[in-house]
Chain A
Amino acid sequence: MPNHEPVSRRRNLIQALLGAGFGASFLSFLYPALKFMMPPKVAESAANQVSAGKAADLKPNSARIFRFGSRPAILVRTPEGEWRAFSAVCTHLNCTVQYNDQTHRIWCACHNGQFDLKGKVVGGPPPRPLEEYVVHVQGDEVVVARS
């Protein structure tokens, strides 16, 4: 009889340990899995197309830089109101290009590379034209896609 006491206490300890262990480890697997299933803040991966903002925010003869995948891109609204989008990475030394509303050209400030509004090189050192993207205006949203 006296030696039954420690045995059952021991058994209780083991059971408690096991219960706690199972419970805690189960929770530590369940928690990440449930979190994983929650939709993330950004619902879509910016793979092939990306929203470049509101159409109303961009007046004719202006442009905006936005992120496309892992690189910058430029959305241009021509003086005539047309939408164009290009990779904003200058083909010379990878600076980010900008729009010049005086000359109506895309311009790289680093070494004065000049591109026309079709992405073609019209001046300066860039060896290749800018990659062009396709622009769709869906309602008020401008969506840019790889062609």
Chain B
Amino acid sequence: MKLRWMAPIFVMALGLPAQTAKNSCVECHAALEGDLARPAELFANDIHGKNGFSCVACHGGDPSSDDPEVAMSRGRGFLGKIDRRSVPARCARCHSDANLIHRFKPQQRVDQLAQYQTSVHGQRLAAGDVKVANCIDCHSVHDIREVSDPLSPVYPLRLPETCARCHADAAHMQGYRIPTDQFEKYRKSVHWEALAQRGDLSAPNCATCHGNHGAAPPGVASVAMVCGSCHVVFENLFVKSPHKKAFDNMGLAGCVVCHSNHDVEKPTLALVGVQPGAVCLNCHAKGDKGYEAAMQMRSRLEQLAASLGRSDDILKMAESSGMEVSEARLGLGTANESLVKAEVDLHSFDPAMVDGAVAKGLEVAQSSYRAGQKALEERDYRRKGLALSLVTIVVTMAGLWLAVRELDNRRKKSS
């Protein structure tokens, strides 16, 4: 509250026209139609408006006058529509000023303009290309919301679509000689699934890898770094693996060689090995050491996966006949984890390391299989018990029936 009350004072200190009780911009524009009215409507939701800034903070002019000639005169500092090339600088007047910004958000960074100038967008804009994105293309304009506001176009869940507005538009991207299928591919990826389906806001979107204000594609050398910022274990293993050097020599970019970039799909065992479709075959051929290793690792992983499948099947069978096997399920969970670990260890591309994790998992999977077998034995034991008691029941029923018949016969005779 205090800040809001003080805001106009800071604005005045900056030499900007302060928000006054009167705002003829909104008054007139709200009465107009179409495009001229929209900014006035939208501004109600704008974070700047909520913090005490008004139209004049960006556009200049004099909101205290009802006369359009006066209010929008160059003499009163009116700028009109901000030129696309000068938008970043316009925003940065405040957003690069730590003193001002930190009054409102003490943790907010103030290097956005500097970053932007290093980005492909910023560099092209400086070179005179007005088609590239500037601040308002991503953050929208007149209804700029905080990034943490789910309605903001740069909220993690909405960011990919925002980037795709230009990057998936073939007409717009004509002449830049880059693909326009990134969004389509991204939507097939595990990252999109984590973000959109599971609602995990920490899952990577475009900006996580490419940066936001300093948006640039990571180069060949830095791809492993980008992926490794989350997938640390994989990066550590990869860096120590024989592939690191080989890839560097060939100018290949780490992770994406096998996993691709935008459409990082959930990796399956089909990726590894020497069967058609396996990525190893892209470089290795029969007879070399890598081919042997790929074959070996694949068969070990498959062995564990199959063992897990068998255990799962028998537990399912036990469950469907009403047996409680939650303990064995818990065990199977740790065996599954061994498979996950083995798949991680795979990135050392060292068969011995994969073997270690697989052996551990096999042991647990087999013990849950035995638990499943025991449960099925228990089920059979129950069925035998049931059969036995059914026999006694049937025998008794037969005895009773004979007794009833005999009674009836006796009664008939006596009557």
Interface, chain A (partner B; CB < 8 A): 10-11, 14, 17-18, 20-22, 24-25, 28-29, 67, 70-72, 93-96, 109-112, 123-125, 127
* B252 on interface, CB distance cutoff 8 Å: no
Q: Does the CB pair A112–B326 fall under 8 Å?
A: no
A124 touches B201 (CB 8 A): no
Residues of chain A within 8 A of B200, CB atoms compared: 127
Q: Which of chain B's residues have a CB closer than 8 A to the CB of A17?
A: 395, 398-399, 402
Say yes or no: A18 contacts B400, CB within 8 Å.
yes
Most buried by A among B200, B231, B396: B396
B 178-204 binary contact with A (CB < 8 Å = 1; else 0)? 000000000000000000000011110
Within 8 Å by CB of A109, from B203, B341, B388, B389, lies B341
Contacts of A22 in B (CB 8 A): 396
Q: A21 to B330, Cβ gap below 8 A?
A: no
| Cβ contacts under 8 Å, B202 to chain A | 125, 127
The 10 closest A-B pairs by CB, nearest first: A21-B396, A17-B399, A18-B399, A24-B392, A112-B232, A28-B389, A25-B392, A21-B395, A112-B233, A127-B200
- CA–CA, A110 and B347, complex, Å: 12
CB-defined contacts of B203 to chain A, threshold 8 Å:
127
B395 A20 Cβ-Cβ under 8 A: yes
Report if B340 contacts A (CB, 8 A). Answer: yes
Dominant secondary structure at the A interface: mixed
- Report the minimum CB–CB distance from B245 to chain A (whole Å): 23
What residues on A are CB-neighbors of B398 within 8 Å? 17, 21
Quote the shortest CB–CB distance from B353 to chain A (angstroms). Answer: 13
Which residues does chain A contribute within 8 Å of B403, judged by CB atoms? 14, 18
Which A residues touch B399, using CB under 8 A?
Answer: 14, 17-18, 20-21
Given contacts A17-B399, A95-B337, contact A70 B231 (CB under 8 A): no
Given contacts A11-B406, A18-B403, A110-B337, contact A24 B395 (CB under 8 A): yes
What 0/1 readout, one digit per residue, does chain B (332-355) give for beta carbons within 8 Å of chain A? Answer: 011001001100100000000000
Identify the closest chain A residue to B204 (Cβ).
A125
Check B393 for interface membership: any CB of A closer than 8 A: yes
A113 CA to B388 CA in the complex, in Å?
A: 55
B402 is contacted by which of A14, A25, A127 (Cβ under 8 Å)?
Answer: A14
Shortest beta-carbon distance, A112 to chain B, in Å? 4
Given contacts A25-B392, A28-B389, A127-B200, contact A96 B400 (CB under 8 A): no
Taking a contact as CB atoms under 8 Å apart, the answer to whether A70 and B340 are in contact is no
Query: B406: which of A10, A20, A29, A112 is its contact (CB, 8 Å)?
Result: A10
Q: What is the bound-complex CA distance between A96 and B360, given in angstroms? A: 15
Q: Does A70 lie within 8 Å of B230, measured CB to CB?
A: no
Give min CB distance, A33 to chain B, whole Å: 13
| Tally of chain B residues near chain A (CB < 8 A) | 32
CB distance from A123 to the nearest CB of B (A): 8
CB-defined contacts of B397 to chain A, threshold 8 Å: 21
Chain A residues with CB under 8 Å of B213's CB are: none
Docked-complex contact A111 and B231, CB < 8 angstroms: yes
Chain B: which residue is nearest A72 at the CB level? B330
User: Does B329 lie at the interface of the complex (its beta carbon under 8 Å from any beta carbon of A)?
Assistant: yes
> Of all chain A residues, which has the CB nearest B396?
A21
**Contact indicator B326/A18 (Cβ below 8 Å):** no
Residue contact B388 to A28, C-beta cutoff 8 Å: yes
Q: Is the CB of A25 within 8 A of B232?
A: no
Interface contact A110-B334, CB-CB below 8 Å = no
Selected A-B contacts with CB under 8 Å, 6 pairs:
A17-B402, A21-B395, A28-B388, A96-B333, A111-B233, A125-B231
| Cα-based distance from A109 to B406 in the complex (angstroms) | 77
Q: CA A124 – CA B228 in complex, angstroms?
A: 10
Report B367-405 CB contacts with A as 1/0, cut-off 8 Å: 000000000000000000100110011011111101100
Please indicate the chain B residues that have their CB under 8 angstroms from the CB of A124 in the complex.
230, 232
Distance of A9 Cα from B13 Cα, bound (Å): 121
Chain A residues whose CB sits within 8 angstroms of the CB of B402 once the complex forms: 14, 17
Set of chain B residues within 8 Å of A72, measured between Cβ atoms: 330, 333-334
> Would you give the shortest CB distance from B127 to chain A, in whole angstroms?
38
- Given A21-B392, A21-B400, A24-B395, list of 10 further CB < 8 A pairs? A10-B406, A14-B406, A18-B396, A18-B399, A21-B393, A25-B393, A72-B334, A95-B341, A111-B232, A127-B202
The residues of A that contact B385 with a CB separation of less than 8 Å are 28
Min CB gap B399→A, angstroms: 4
Tell me whether A127 and B201 are in contact in the complex, defined as CB-CB below 8 angstroms, given that A17-B399, A72-B330, A110-B344 are known contacts.
Answer: yes
Q: Which B residue's beta carbon lies closest to that of A18?
A: B399
Instruction: From known contacts A17-B399, A127-B202, infer whether A70 and B406 are also in contact, taking CB-CB under 8 Å.
Output: no
Cβ contact within 8 Å between A96 and B233: no
CA distance A11 to B388 in the complex (A): 25
- A94 vs B202: C-alpha distance in the bound complex, in angstroms? 16
In the complex, the chain B residue whose C-beta lies closest to that of A70 is B326
Given A14-B403, A18-B403, A112-B232, the answer on whether A28 and B340 have CB atoms closer than 8 Å is no
**Smallest Cβ-Cβ distance to B403: which chain A residue:** A14
Give CA–CA (A51, B346) in the complex, Å: 37
